[in-house]
Chain A
């Protein structure tokens, strides 16, 4: 077995290598750049047989990716944060073109203020683009998800681009032992790419991505993306089952950790979900009946799986590493709308927002979230959303503001909670 210490970025590069990609359009951005640097080196040294083109921006990069994918070659690309937003117009276009490709996003908080460290506002801004979304929490899962993502994107029933998300720093620059599948086994799983009707060629011209006027035609095409994306739930299940049979690792649409017999559940996506697993272990050791749900698929949203897993529980604590300003956590909204009115749905779904811009979520904060959830369940009242922030953090912030000469109005004092 080939098991090596790999960063999340290098694991992503391995995913592309094992999937046998043909084309990589690239534009650098931290903390993603190591992915394209790694693939570029493999192409340079002849380890990989693929074409790489550097573009002038993420917008051009995604346009090139879509153009290449339309010709029926296997396309892989990667970006992060501001880059994802800059290319966003093309994400909607590519999904509309119905071209299969795999895009990696290495999550990083959005400006302003500018930062390098992770949260999920970037990837969730792409939520409605038509790209399917897979979210990873370990370096192994990144490599494996890329293989699965190509199968999903290229499936004739689906033919939609797939985004695989990994967190900057906590995965991108973090090394963990990763099993690298045998190249032949990986190629057998992903399979040769049969583009079928994806065949934009000079000798067989077609007009792709036509304009339509009048809502009827427009609605049809948009609804078809919706229907295909929903279809992807069952197709994903088939592919994940095949993956498990081939490699022994299982990737359910929602990863349920110690959820059996749990009265309470945490719900999170991404790398910090492993911290929630740790918290579940500690809370279980202290007598709690608690578990974790980690949706891997966010688009399409696995409603049915969530409803089954959530039924009969007392409450769920949704921990969002993102913030929809003026509303709250995005996952919280998704989860409540998915469970509303469903038989056995937990009466309390508490919303917590934390881990923005790489801020840690301490073990003690998970324990406190569990206690707050339990308290709310006892009262039977949905608690107000909590933004995780401590007195110590605010004090440190006030010091920075003093240096920055941000003067607060006379008597501006911070109240303790």
Chain B
């Protein structure tokens, strides 16, 4: 069975990627299961979607715990434990990272047991407004090439089947990008192999425990400490960074901090300061600032600039 997991951020089209790939497998005559994993997340938070495909009916269900292919749309998710990118990897797993760094660097960094492929397939779209809406088709195109059992024309047919609610121009652009990703990955065609089931003859025993008795003061679902949300660094969800231009800021009556839905702007010494550990990059502050003192910087570039400082 092919077991494929797409990892990205909310808004990057991972559900679309799983639907395009799922439909492509289906059109190629496979039995398929595809699903997104939603939670209470929002735009920018780590999410994943998955696809199972094989020639026989599929009985396995739920999240894919041992993926044959992990495809990561956004490399900044890799160090985030909540993204669970490396969950259940095995020697036979292939990890594709959409990255500006090469596979050898990642191999060293991650101590990954399987094969790693790294290439920047979406770089050109990252900085274009609305560019993220193509990530799904790009990732599906790459995955289709890596499994090696989906021909180009079926990939394009699947894109048409899935993008029924958009204009022809957008469909065309999705197809162009998916095809480019497909062709870029063709040299690795078939690198992802079908995996077997979990053997019952010899298996690793689950480490079951007796559920301990905890007093209700501990076991009731309450958050006791105040300001615990500060420990959750939601700044990692940010794709775009608001930057305050101090020379333009009039130190008004804190329109920016009043509107920030995450209380990530505080006034200190008569000036607004953005708490980048928690700013999620919604850019509401930018829109609200009447002095136009807040500008948008691409997060990746801002981080590169931070590093070189």
A408 CB contacts on chain B under 8 angstroms:
214, 218
In contact, B206 and A286 (Cβ under 8 angstroms):
no
Q: Report Cα–Cα, A394/B40, bound state, in Å.
A: 22
In contact, B61 and A417 (Cβ under 8 angstroms):
no
Question: Known: A177-B26, A406-B217. Is A286-B33 also a contact (CB below 8 A)?
Answer: no
A147 to chain B, nearest CB (A): 21
Q: Report Cα–Cα, A176/B221, bound state, in Å.
A: 36
B232 to chain A, nearest CB (A): 8
B18 to chain A, nearest CB (A): 9
B228 CB contacts on chain A under 8 angstroms:
403-405
Check: A173 CB closer than 8 A to any chain B CB. Answer: yes
Bitwise interface map of B from 107 to 140 toward A, beta carbon under 8 Å scored 1, else 0? 0000000000000000000000000000000000
Bitwise interface map of A from 168 to 189 toward B, beta carbon under 8 Å scored 1, else 0? 0110011111000000000000
How many interface residues does B have (CB within 8 Å)?
49
Q: Report Cα–Cα, A271/B33, bound state, in Å.
A: 13
Q: Report Cα–Cα, A272/B63, bound state, in Å.
A: 11
A242 to chain B, nearest CB (A): 24
In contact, A272 and B61 (Cβ under 8 angstroms):
yes
Check: A244 CB closer than 8 A to any chain B CB. Answer: no
B198 CB contacts on chain A under 8 angstroms:
282, 362-364, 367
Q: Report Cα–Cα, A259/B28, bound state, in Å.
A: 33
In contact, A274 and B35 (Cβ under 8 angstroms):
no
A387 CB contacts on chain B under 8 angstroms:
211
Question: Known: A174-B35, A278-B59. Is A390-B225 also a contact (CB below 8 A)?
Answer: no
Check: A217 CB closer than 8 A to any chain B CB. Answer: no
- Number of A-B residue pairs having CB atoms within 8 Å of each other in the complex: 148
In contact, A389 and B211 (Cβ under 8 angstroms):
yes
Q: Which of B63, B201, B203 contacts A364 (CB 8 A)?
A: B203
Bitwise interface map of A from 280 to 315 toward B, beta carbon under 8 Å scored 1, else 0? 011101111000000000000000000000000000
Question: Known: A173-B38, A271-B61, A403-B231. Is A365-B206 also a contact (CB below 8 A)?
Answer: yes
B216 to chain A, nearest CB (A): 10
In contact, A175 and B22 (Cβ under 8 angstroms):
yes
Question: Known: A274-B61, A362-B65, A408-B218. Is A389-B209 also a contact (CB below 8 A)?
Answer: yes
Question: Known: A177-B26, A367-B200. Is A414-B212 also a contact (CB below 8 A)?
Answer: yes
Check: B36 CB closer than 8 A to any chain A CB. Answer: yes
B134 to chain A, nearest CB (A): 22
Check: B210 CB closer than 8 A to any chain A CB. Answer: yes
Check: A391 CB closer than 8 A to any chain B CB. Answer: yes
B197 CB contacts on chain A under 8 angstroms:
278, 281-282, 363
In contact, A282 and B208 (Cβ under 8 angstroms):
no
Check: A327 CB closer than 8 A to any chain B CB. Answer: no
A261 to chain B, nearest CB (A): 17
Question: Known: A174-B33, A362-B65. Is A394-B200 also a contact (CB below 8 A)?
Answer: no
In chain B, what residue has the closest Cβ to A171?
B61
B169 CB contacts on chain A under 8 angstroms:
none
Q: Report Cα–Cα, A281/B282, bound state, in Å.
A: 49
Bitwise interface map of B from 131 to 163 toward A, beta carbon under 8 Å scored 1, else 0? 000000000000000000000000000000000
The B-contacting residues of A in range 172-228, CB under 8 angstroms, are 173-177
Check: A245 CB closer than 8 A to any chain B CB. Answer: no
A368 CB contacts on chain B under 8 angstroms:
203, 205-206, 208
In contact, B200 and A176 (Cβ under 8 angstroms):
no
In chain B, what residue has the closest Cβ to A8?
B35
Check: B199 CB closer than 8 A to any chain A CB. Answer: yes
Check: B187 CB closer than 8 A to any chain A CB. Answer: no
Check: A386 CB closer than 8 A to any chain B CB. Answer: yes
A197 to chain B, nearest CB (A): 43
Check: A248 CB closer than 8 A to any chain B CB. Answer: no
The A-contacting residues of B in range 60-83, CB under 8 angstroms, are 60-63, 65
Check: B17 CB closer than 8 A to any chain A CB. Answer: no
Q: Report Cα–Cα, A294/B215, bound state, in Å.
A: 37
List 10 interface pairs A-B (beta carbons < 8 Å), by A numbering.
Answer: A170-B61, A170-B62, A176-B32, A272-B61, A388-B208, A389-B211, A390-B208, A401-B218, A406-B222, A407-B218
Please report B residues at the A interface, Cβ cutoff 8 Å: 19, 22-23, 26, 31-40, 58-63, 65, 197-201, 203-212, 214-215, 217-219, 221-225, 228, 231-232
Task: Supply 6 further A-B pairs (C-beta < 8 A) apart from A282-B197, A389-B209, A408-B218.
Answer: A175-B22, A272-B62, A275-B61, A368-B205, A394-B209, A408-B214
When A and B form their complex, which 9 residue pairs have the shortest distance between CB atoms, in order from nearest? A405-B225, A363-B198, A286-B201, A113-B221, A405-B224, A282-B200, A278-B59, A174-B35, A286-B200
